[in-house]
Amino acid sequence: MERSPSKRRDVLPEGWWSAETCWSLDPDECTFELSDEAKARIETCHAFLLSKAGQGDVLYGINTGFGDLATTVVEDLRGLQRNLLISHACGVGEPLPQEVVRMMLLLKVKGLSQGHSGVALTTVQRLLDHWNANVFPVVPEQGSLGASGDLAPLAHMVLPLIGMGEVKMPDGRRLPSGEALAELGWEPLELGPKEGLALINGTQMMLGMGMVALKRIGRLAGWADAVGAWSLEAWNGLEAAMHPSIHAVRNHAGAILSSHNIRAWIAGSARVAQPRSYVQDPYSFRCMPQVHGASRDVLEGVRTVFEAEMNAVTDNPLVFPEEDLIVSGGNFHGQPLALAMDRLALAVHEWASMSERRTFKMLSGQRGLPAFLAADPGLNSGYMIPQYTAASLVSHNKQLCTPSSADNADSSNGQEDHVSMGANGALKMWKVLGHAEQVLAIEAMCAAQASDFRSSDVAMAPALAGLQTSFREVVPFLEKDAVMAPLMAAAKSWLVSNDPHQAGAAC
């Protein structure tokens, strides 16, 4: 397949990848090739593996069965690897988002290129060919226990290498892989010793979901502070709880950052500067830095785990040519990611939980605002029922936040007797994140409505006025009751597609 002339050609980055490195790689902009160093590592390791396989030693997954069949010696080494992919492609459910599959593929290339997996260079190159051609496998979302890695999802991801499974073409068509390979002019690969096992052992499904989500969650953290500040001003809340001295004496980095952000959003607000007869706000306003900040701190901890895993080798057995060693271990076990997914889901939920409480307060008919933010309460219900939706989503998140990592299942006849359930944790975290984005979007609708009711009042903070103007381009002031679902969808789309500082004014 010819390379698009509009794409740059670049070498896949070597060394330690940060989250930003991973996010910056875009198949729509660049085609990538392996560095000479990576090619040398892969070829050296592959040659060493072949020499060992030819010596007659019993080597797990190379000339034996898998799991509880590890003691069964197999002579048909190539058939063994092909059968592994076919038998393990047992995924069910909806296809994973393509952005996740793209990340999975990239992370698999990163792991294999470190030269401890024993695969052929042609195999790694074919994965990179899929990336460069924007031809991505269709991968069902469910089926992984997160123990020997993400066996079922990764089996679906690599089936196209042998001409099986299904892919999504650049023009959106879903094709059987055999047809797609013929259209691309690619021959199916014949896998050598250990290659199938190296391809499907690993944590790339749960890590891929986590890496895509991490970028969204970083933006959500900014929106939580921005929308919280918007509501604080609209509800005539107090600035005092954001004072830097309060947070300095507790010294949690996340709270210090969140309080700084909220102060920046409300800077210059004549509304916030007005004298009040009350001295404290409810916790959902007063404790924003402490709660938002605690979630920020979890986010940073999870990022550290994800970056370590992104730069790791997570298949089995591992090959160390320089030590004349092939050794079985457990790097494929998803426990580090499973615990991180559970923490991440809970952190995201807390942003939504606080947001729904602020929405509830703004509808209470207090502090000079009409009940339910309706222009004519009684005839109109205003924002009464969007708050129901927010409460429903938050309640669902509470149920989803039950830790997946606390569960276990015995598999492979007891050989795999502790599993991480990290893939289930990733799927639940993904759903929690989508709910949280909608809950914050509903709060933004209420903050904008409340701000408009104070339009004859003193001036908004300049940064918040920028948010108000941007938001009103997609969601109008609610003069009378209307069908709310499209407005709520528009609000969510506005929130997830914008950086808060770009939507408003830079802090």
Cα 377 to Cα 5: distance, rounded to the nearest angstrom: 60
Q: What CA–CA distance (Å, rounded) separates 447 from 103?
A: 36
Residue 388: active-site member: no
Catalytic residue among 60, 278, 283, 388: 60
Q: Do 363 and 383 meet the contact criterion of CB atoms below 8 Å apart?
A: yes
Classify 378 in phi/psi space as left (phi over 0), alpha (psi -120 to 50) or beta. left
Q: Is residue 101 within 8 Å of 178, Cβ to Cβ?
A: no
Rounded to 5°, angle at Cα 80 from 75 and 82: 145
3-state secondary structure of 366: coil
Please state, in angstroms and rounded to a whole number, the distance separating the CA atoms of residues 439 and 320: 50
Q: Which residues pair with 325 in a beta bridge?
A: 320
φ/ψ region of 7 (left if φ > 0, alpha if ψ in -120 to 50, else beta) reads: beta
Distance CA 339, CA 301 (A): 11
Torsion of CA 65, 71, 74, 79, to 10 degrees: 0
Paired with 136 in beta bridges are 168
**Structure-block tokens of residue 332:** 């494929």
Pairing of strands 166-168, 140-142: unpaired
Token pair recorded at residue 471: 């938001």
- What residues pair up with 168 in beta bridges, in sequence order? 136, 174
Compute the distance between CA of residue 408 and CA of residue 418 in angstroms, rounded to an integer. Answer: 6
Secondary-structure breakdown of the chain: helix, strand, coil percentages, each rounded to the nearest 5: 55, 5, 35
b/e burial code for range 477-493 (CB count within 10 A of at least 16 → b): ebeeeeebeebbebbbe
Q: How far apart are CA 210 and CA 190, in angstroms?
A: 32
Peptide bond into 140 cis (omega under 30): no
DSSP conformational letter for 187: P
Give yes or no for a contact between 82 and 162, defined as CB atoms under 8 angstroms apart. Answer: yes
> Is 412 exposed, middle or buried (CB count within 10 Å of its CB: 0-12, 13-18, 19+)?
middle
Show the beta-strand stretches assigned E in 295-403: 318-320, 325-327
- Measured between alpha carbons, how far is residue 189 from residues 161, 186, 311, 336 in Å? 6, 9, 26, 33
Quick count: other Cβ atoms within 10 Å of Cβ 72? 10
**What is the set of active-site residues?**
60
